[in-house]
A and B are shown apart, each in its own frame.
Chain A
Amino acid sequence: MGQNIAQKIFNSHLRDTPTPENMVLDLDVVLCHEITTPIAIMDLMEKGMDRVFDPDKIKAVIDHVTPAKDSKTAAQGKIMRDWAKRNKIKDFFDVGDNGVCHALFPEKGFIRPGYTVIMGDSHTCTHGAFGAFAAGVGTTDLEVGILKGVCTFRAPVSMKVEITGSLQPAVSAKDVILAIIKKLTVNGATDRVIEFVGPLVDSMNMSSRMTLCNMAVEAGATSGICLPDRVTAEYLWPFIKGDYPTIDAAVEDYTKWHSDPDADYIEVITFDVSDLLPQVTYGYKPDHVRNILEMEGTVVDQVYIGSCTNGRIEDLRESAAILKGKKLASGVRGIVTPATPTIYSQALDEGIIKIFMDAGFCVLNPTCGACLGMSSGVLAENEVCASTTNRNFNGRMGKGGMVHLMSPASAAAAAITGSISDPRKFIA
């Protein structure tokens, strides 16, 4: 029996198998942010274990609340800063060059095909877009990762989601993943790795693949994963050109991670997107998804464009194409947060920031901000937000608030009309 990509990565990183179902893996990178790492650091210090297994394999950022909003978040940042310095972690990103972890770390070339990656953050699955096994963990797993460079997982069980057909204008990866989550339900992929394959995935750029993998966890998955190919190699080329003579050579090498034709899957689903309409959530769970026509007219108070799901340059372009020359509907607050400084600066160069500002948006520095309701755009009770983020849980963006998840195009359409609207009406 052949192996799928997750099995290949597991087998090539296997340190130990304490039981047949449990596999202890060597880690290639351990990613850290200031919400879940400081407690790990404090605990390691208390136990006299303030060490790291390899400072070059640890990447850290302050991104959730930055710049600090109060003394508590300032203390979290300081714990990270001091720790990075003490332990000689040179890839540490602080105010000025920090951005949302799952957008920043890929942009720096830290994630490569075949890697094992953990982070104390459930959306670590985003990095599976590069053909890596990347999974969110809790603080104790993170502590052990930092200290020993290992993590335990159950032997991987993969399901294949094959995506076919081509997308209509103004329909994007976000709509695809929302529709897939609706089909799988929030529990449908628990303890599984979702392997995204098929012609649509092959034709997607890295940004769209990250959007797909980002929300795999919302169906319960341990991770999402795409097969590394030419698109992956071209994205990574600035970082890997010392390792390969040509892009072709990298592409060729990456095929070693590809799932074998006779690999084993617990389930195979084919999903055709040709007739897919823009999708939007209506309730407090990410599988509460409807097509946009069923939700049109729902009045919004705020529009939020950003996050690790949809805060990349491609997403900002998608929104700006609709916002260009238009104004926010009266009474609607617009907030945009480019996910990293590089994206911000690119958006400035392309005139995108101006489009947002002319429309009346508030442009925030790169941060998670309102996505998790910790700063910069928290909702008041009974307020409604059209958001490009990934979670609509009750209270997520502020107690009593309602979050409707949607694509950057749909969020832009809501911004100019003041209610949930079909973005296809606004494209040339």
Chain B
Amino acid sequence: MKNFGGPAVLLDRNDINTDEIIPAKYLAEITKSALKSHLLEDLLLDGKQFDSRSQKMREAKVVITRANFGCGSSREHAVWAFEVNDINVVIASSFARIFRQNMFNCGILAMELSEDDIDSLFSMSGNLTVSVDLANEKVKLVSDDNSQDSVECAFSLNAYDKSLVSAGGWLAYADVNY
């Protein structure tokens, strides 16, 4: 099974929708790789355009955000846009149903933490690196700012979602089971 974690980027907003993750004009693409440079292109944070081309964004493997992430359109392109950018975990206080299911269906991790835990992650200083211990359902965040202690949180993964992630996605799972 693949390793989950890496450098994190923080998106401090609720209700980020899939049109913001990948705008509809790219839905005519028929390869996932064509989505790569358009991830989060239309995102507004604090009413301002998010810099989706920054160095930090390019290096990120993990996205940390707030409530109701991935709401709106069902487009799995939103998950693929993360996938082709090597982002393998999204951490949020809650997800929209279809987005969350799409993540597990693709064998990547949608991790729900409590709002308090999310608040504590957003209050950390420095650049954060995330490591995920899937078996023990623990996630650890380490900062490059030495004055900042690392933070560890517990998460829980439904047994079914876990089996999808281990099987490599829903298609592989369904092919064996149904």
Taking beta carbons and an 8 Å cutoff, which residues of A are in contact with B? 15-16, 18-19, 21-22, 24, 35-36, 38-39, 42-43, 47, 49, 64-65, 70, 72-73, 75-76, 79, 120-122, 124, 136-141, 143-144, 147-148, 150, 152, 186-187, 190-191, 220, 222, 284-285, 372-374, 391, 393-396, 399
Residue among B17, B25, B171 making CB contact with A374, cutoff 8 Å: B25
Q: How far is the CA of A43 from the CA of B25 in the complex (A)?
A: 21
Residues of A within 8 A of B14 (CB): 187
List the B side residues contacting A144 at CB < 8 Å.
170-171, 174
A-B contact pairs, 18 of them (CB 8 A): A16-B178, A22-B160, A35-B28, A72-B28, A72-B29, A122-B74, A138-B99, A138-B101, A140-B102, A152-B170, A186-B71, A190-B96, A220-B96, A373-B24, A393-B19, A394-B42, A395-B23, A395-B42
- For the complex, give the distance between the alpha carbons of A121 and B72 in Å: 10
A76 to B34 CA separation, bound complex (whole angstroms): 15
For residue A76, which residues in chain B have a CB less than 8 angstroms away from its CB? Answer: 28, 30
A24 touches which one: B75, B79, B97, B178 (CB < 8 A)?
Answer: B178
Instruction: Determine how close the nearest CB of chain B comes to the CB of A101; give it in whole angstroms.
Output: 12
The docked-state distance in angstroms from the alpha carbon of A40 to that of B24 is 17
Partner of A186, one of B15, B105, B106, B178: B15
| Contacting residue for A19 out of B97, B159, B170, CB 8 A | B159
Does B24 contact A396, Cβ atoms closer than 8 Å? yes
Q: What CA separation (Å) do A49 and B172 show in the bound complex?
A: 11
A69 nearest in chain B by CB position: B28
Report, nearest first, the 7 A-B pairs whose CB atoms are least far apart.
A138-B102, A140-B105, A138-B76, A139-B76, A72-B28, A122-B74, A187-B68
* Binary CB contact string for chain B from 127 to 164 against chain A (1 if under 8 A, 0 otherwise): 00000000000000000000000000000001110010
Select one of A73, A121, A150 contacting B174, CB under 8 A.
A150
Cα distance, A188 to B174, chains bound together (Å) = 31
The answer to whether B74 touches A121, judged by C-beta atoms less than 8 angstroms apart, is yes
Q: Is the CB of A21 within 8 A of B72?
A: no
Instruction: Tell me the number of A-to-B contacts counted with CB atoms below 8 Å.
Output: 141
Task: Indicate if the CB atoms of A393 and B30 lie closer than 8 Å.
Answer: no
Contact A136 B71 (CB under 8 A): no
Cβ contact within 8 Å between B71 and A187: yes
Cα A393 to Cα B22 with chains together (Å): 12
A residues in contact with B159, CB < 8 Å: 18-19
Per-position 1/0 for B66-94, Cβ under 8 A of A: 01100111111001000000000000001
Number of interface residues of B (CB under 8 A): 44
List the B side residues contacting A120 at CB < 8 Å: 74, 76
Return A75 CB to nearest CB of chain B, in Å: 6
- Minimum CB–CB distance from A293 to chain B (whole Å) comes to 26
A150 touches B178 (CB 8 A): yes
Interface residue B54 (Cβ < 8 Å from any Cβ of A): no
Q: Which residues of B does A touch, CB under 8 Å?
A: 14-15, 17, 19-20, 23-25, 27-30, 32, 42, 44, 67-68, 71-76, 79, 94, 96-99, 101-102, 105-106, 158-160, 163, 169-171, 174-175, 177-178
CB neighbours of A19 from chain B (8 A)? 158-160
A399 touches B23 (CB 8 A): yes
Are B171 and A140 in touch, CB under 8 angstroms? yes
Given A19-B160, A399-B42, are A147 and B28 also a contact pair (CB < 8 Å)? no
Residues of B within 8 A of A136 (CB): 74, 98
Q: How far is the CB of B8 from chain A (nearest CB, A)?
A: 23
Known: A16-B178, A120-B74, A136-B74. A187 touches B94 (CB 8 A): yes
Contact in complex: B170, A18 (CB < 8 Å)? no
Contact B67 A393 (CB under 8 A): no
Which partner residue on chain B sits nearest A372 by CB separation?
A: B24
- With contacts A65-B28, A148-B178, A374-B25 taken as known, whether A393 is within 8 angstroms of B170 at the C-beta atoms is no
Across the interface, name the chain B residue whose C-beta is closest to A150: B178
Chain A residues in 8 Å Cβ range of B67: 187
State A122–B175 Cα separation when bound (angstroms): 25
Residue in chain B with minimal CB distance to A140: B105
Separation in Å of the A43 CB from the closest CB of chain B? Answer: 8
Q: Which residues of A contact B44 (CB under 8 A)?
A: 284, 394
Given A150-B178, A187-B68, do A36 and B74 touch, yes or no (CB 8 Å)? Answer: yes
List B contacts of A18 (CB < 8 A). 159-160, 163, 177
Contact A122 B27 (CB under 8 A): no
Instruction: Find chain A residues with CB under 8 A from B74 CB.
Output: 36, 120-122, 124, 136-138
Separation of A39 and B94 alpha carbons in the complex (Å): 27
Contacts of B177 in A (CB 8 A): 16, 18
> What chain A residues lie within 8 Å of B72 (beta carbons)?
122, 391, 393
Nearest Cβ distance between residue B81 and chain A, in whole angstroms? 13
Rounded to whole angstroms, the CA-CA distance of A220 and B100 in the bound complex is 12
Q: Name the residue of chain A whose CB is nearest to the CB of B107.
A: A140
CA distance A120 to B76 in the complex (A): 9
Q: How far is the CB of B148 from chain A (nearest CB, A)?
A: 30
In Å, the complex CA distance between A129 and B105 comes to 28
Q: Smallest distance from the beta carbon of B30 to chain A beta carbons, Å?
A: 6
Contact A79 B30 (CB under 8 A): yes
Are A22 and B158 in contact, with the CB atoms below 8 A?
Answer: yes
Residues of chain B lying within 8 A (CB to CB) of residue A399: 23, 42
For A15, what are the chain B residues with a Cβ–Cβ distance below 8 Å?
178
